[in-house]
Amino acid sequence: MTTSKLADHVRSEANVHTSMHDISQEINVIDSSVDDDKLGHQPPNSIRYNGLIHMIMITINELFNVNKLKDRTKKQTESMLGLIQFYIYHFLLLFIYILITIYKKFQTIYRKFFIKFYTLIYHHNNSPQLIRDDVNKLNKLPKTLSCILDLKDKDDEMGGIDGLINQISELTAWTLSCGIPVLQIYEFNGKLITNKSLLTKLNYKISKNLAKYFGLNNLPNYSIKIPHENLIIFGPQNTSNSEIDLQIHLLSRIDGKPTIVELTKTMSELAINKELTIQDISIDLIDEELIELVGPEPDLLIYFGPNLDLQDFPPWHIRLTEIYWEPENYDVNYSILIRALQKYSNCVTNVGK
């Protein structure tokens, strides 16, 4: 089969008409219809060529333009200087942060070592005489001592209700040995106050601990008072007529702001009923009533925690109170008590005019 015959066969298979057709006349018609103005335009290849030359000339112009080159160099220099300045400041801040972290770490270690050191130096050894020797060196002692205690979790050391009772019994023995007549124990939730069986357990634990310090035959007289409930519990050796060596007041958040609010409401009702005149309401009256409801104003307040937290302690009672706490301390330690008493003995209280 020849080539022409093969092509005709392909065309026939594609259903294409294989006869020749003269289109010369149609071409002439198309050529005559072309616009003469368009014939003067440059062909596409020459357009692309001229555009490329134009772009190269613009680029060369930009490169050799001194002002624009200076502006670009200036911007690059400013950007580089800003980046260098950022890294310098970042390095300085990082260096300061590292120094502060190292300082805080050494400070924490020093404070813990300081507490351990004083714990070894000042140790009571369950001896009232040793405690008395420590406080005899001081210029003065507080008449009312307040301590803020935290109710820890049961899993912690000295945690739970039993741990709280043990702490109170130790503070009672230390306070009696120092010769301080009033001890106030503040616990925010007031777990002991709301449970009479726990108060009985506390009374038993205190008497048992005092027997360890003073002996069974020389037990001092003490009383446990809950001002909010107007309830007094005497020690096993005490009677209501015997002289009290130590008064223990158990306080909670109820004795703080809520008591002041209740006192304000009561005075308002009395004033409305004309049972109390406005002239009778004074600071002295409020002070007298709050002392009756809460207790005396403490001279020294100790918080046995690493960060000072008054926990809504009665605000009226700490106007002139010396407050002490030791950073990094988490326990009720005798050394903390002695340190607080030493600070109190050297402080000067300015009541004002």
What is the spatial distance between Cα 352 and Cα 263, in angstroms, rounded to a whole number? Answer: 27
Asked if residue 63 lies in contact with residue 72, where contact means CB atoms within 8 angstroms, the answer is no
- For the domain 3-26+126-346, what is the CATH superfamily, name and number? Decaprenyl diphosphate synthase-like (3.40.1180.10)
Q: What is the percent of the chain with per-residue pLDDT over 70, rounded to a whole number?
A: 76
Query: What is the gyration radius of the CA atoms in the chain, in angstroms?
Result: 47
User: Residue 51's Cα: distance from chain center in Å?
Assistant: 69
pLDDT digits (tens, 9 = 90+) for 149-194: 998 888 887 788 999 999 999 999 999 999 999 999 999 998 898 8
Model pLDDT, residue 46: 45
Where do the structural domains in the chain lie, given as residue ranges? 3-26+126-346, 48-116
What is the spatial distance between Cα 122 and Cα 177, in angstroms, rounded to a whole number? Answer: 14
Q: Which two tokens mark 93?
A: 């801040």
Q: Which two tokens mark 211?
A: 């027997």
What is the spatial distance between Cα 190 and Cα 349, in angstroms, rounded to a whole number? Answer: 31
> What does pTM read for this prediction?
0.71
Q: Which residue has better confidence, 277 or 143?
A: 143
Asked if residue 205 lies in contact with residue 171, where contact means CB atoms within 8 angstroms, the answer is no
What is the spatial distance between Cα 130 and Cα 137, in angstroms, rounded to a whole number? Answer: 12
DSSP state of 19: S
Range ranked top by mean pLDDT from 61-65, 115-119, 275-279, 315-319: 315-319
Q: If DSSP codes are grouped into helix, strand and coil, which group holds residue 244? A: coil
36 falls in which pLDDT band (50, 70, 90)? very low
Contacts of 276 (CB under 8 A, 6+ apart): 267, 270
- Does position 6 have pLDDT exceeding 50, yes or no? no
Place of tokens 């049961």: 154
Model pLDDT, residue 54: 64
Model pLDDT, residue 93: 92
